[in-house]
Amino acid sequence: MTDTKAAASEVASKNSEKPAKKAKKFVNPFNMKDPMQEKFVKCIMKNGKKTVAQKILRDCFEEMHRRGEKDVLKTFETAFSNVVPTMEVKPKRIGGSVYQIPMEVTPKRRVSLPIRWILKGARSKKGQPMYKRLASELIDAANEAGFAFNKKEEVERVAQANKAFAHLARY
């Protein structure tokens, strides 16, 4: 009986001479040394639970890879660059009335606004775990769609509409 099992295993090994193609293992690009990812984790964090926030971002990158994104880190950076506003309005009181004055966005706000908008868009969706909602919002932002991109468009549209008050910025 052992001879037939050995013979059967030899036949099976001869039939499967072709080596099976191994799928490339996904290497998660999550790294706390990257300042953008570190800032993002700190903004995700609630009640001081940093490890939970790190797990959300790590799982988000894996979910983005599962959805077909080849270079997850590049998609992450593209999402940010698509959501960064160039102009915004700031209210200024001049002579008893308040004007919406368009101003250039400071470099510090160029980092914080996209993070805030992406997280707000992800948190506003319901029915899925946070990492899936965040992955969806990042992919949408990279493809110039979604809540965060619409918010950026709205802010720039308002700044463009109030361009007539730009001369009041020096007061």
How would residue 15 be classed by pLDDT, with cut points 50, 70 and 90? low
Check residues 156 and 10 and name the one with the higher pLDDT.
Answer: 156
Instruction: Identify the pLDDT of residue 3.
Output: 58
- In a 13 Å sphere around the CA of 152, the CA atoms on its Cβ side amount to 27
Q: How many CA atoms lie within 13 A of 62 on its CB side?
A: 12
Task: Give the three-state DSSP class for 28.
Answer: coil
Q: What is the pTM of this model?
A: 0.80
| Residue for token pair 């037939």 | 4
Please report the sign of the dihedral spanned by the C-alpha atoms of residue 93, residue 94, residue 100, residue 106. negative
What is the per-residue pLDDT across 62-77, written as a single tens digit (0 to 9) for each? 999 999 888 999 999 9
**Distance separating alpha carbons of residues 121 and 137, to the nearest angstrom:** 7
Going along 45-96, which residue ranges are E strands?
87-94
What is the fold, at CATH topology level, of the domain defined by 28-170?
Ribosomal Protein S7 (1.10.455)
- What pLDDT score was predicted for residue 169? 82
Residue 69 φ then ψ, to 5°: -75, 125
Structural domain spans, the chain: 28-170
Within 8 A by CB and 6+ apart from 50, the residues are: 41, 42
133 three-class SS: helix
